């Protein structure tokens, strides 16, 4: 996959509950444009072409009565079956990648790609740098449980289906460990931005 050369594309990813949203906010404060891949995915999930393809593969029962994607049923299906999860991702990721590439073409300055599934979607190849935010697994689980109002056990199940901290360390240009305060996280993100902009 070719990456556009005229601008810097920074991929932001990492463990769920590690603190990516705070890091994203710091980049926004520093004038970076952001492409939110979760927003892109929600947009794709409402497209007729995707809905047709996904219902042909998994059955119309994953659609609501009005023909839209039933997110609760879909989540229950893919997170309880790794084979179906891979198949689902194989259908939606090409749509997401195409949409992201079209957005990137419209930018004329550095952009942050906020992508929880950066590696799974194969869009890491678009990035000039990759930043991963990681944290101790217990901390991540506590944050997810509080944020999404689910049990710690469910939060840990969700984390177990994702890449671990070592994977992100091995595949990233910058790694931010967020086991402290939000102020410390903010400062770590700012130092990376300063380094990128050549202010250090």
- Other Cβ atoms closer than 10 A to 68: 11
Would you mind telling me the total number of residues written for the chain in this entry?
Answer: 200
SS3 content of the chain, % helix, strand, coil (to 5): 55, 15, 30
Pick out the chain residues at pLDDT < 70. 1-6, 199-200
pLDDT of residue 109: 86
What pLDDT does 143 receive? 93
Q: Pick from 49, 33, 136, 129: which is nearest to 94 by CA?
A: 49
Provide the pLDDT for residue 5.
52
Give me the pLDDT at residue 136, please.
Answer: 95
List the domains of the chain with CATH numbers: 9-195 (3.40.50.300)
pLDDT at 3: 46
DSSP string for 53-91: HHHHHH-GGGB-TTSSB-HHHHHHHHHT-HHHHHHHHHH
DSSP state of 3: P
């Amino acid at each position: 996959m070719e990456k556009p050369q005229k601008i810097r594309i920074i991929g932001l990813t990492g463990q769920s509950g590690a603190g990516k949203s705070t890091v994203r906010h710091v980049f926004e404060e520093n004038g970076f444009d952001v492409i939110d891949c979760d927003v892109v995915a929600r947009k794709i999930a409402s497209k007729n072409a995707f809905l047709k393809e996904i219902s042909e593969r998994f059955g119309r029962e994953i659609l609501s009565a009005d023909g839209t994607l039933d997110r609760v049923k879909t989540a229950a299906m893919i997170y309880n079956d790794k084979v179906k999860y891979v198949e689902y991702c194989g259908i939606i990721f090409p749509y997401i990648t195409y949409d992201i590439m079209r957005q990137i073409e419209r930018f004329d300055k550095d952009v942050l790609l906020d992508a929880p599934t950066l590696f799974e979607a194969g869009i890491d190849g678009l990035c000039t740098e990759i930043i991963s935010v990681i944290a101790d697994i217990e901390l991540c689980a506590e944050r997810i449980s509080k944020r999404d109002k689910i049990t710690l056990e469910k939060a840990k199940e969700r984390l177990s289906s994702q890449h671990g901290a070592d994977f992100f360390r091995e595949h990233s240009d910058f790694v931010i460990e967020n086991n402290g305060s939000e102020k410390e996280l903010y400062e770590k993100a700012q130092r990376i931005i300063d380094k990128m902009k050549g202010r250090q």
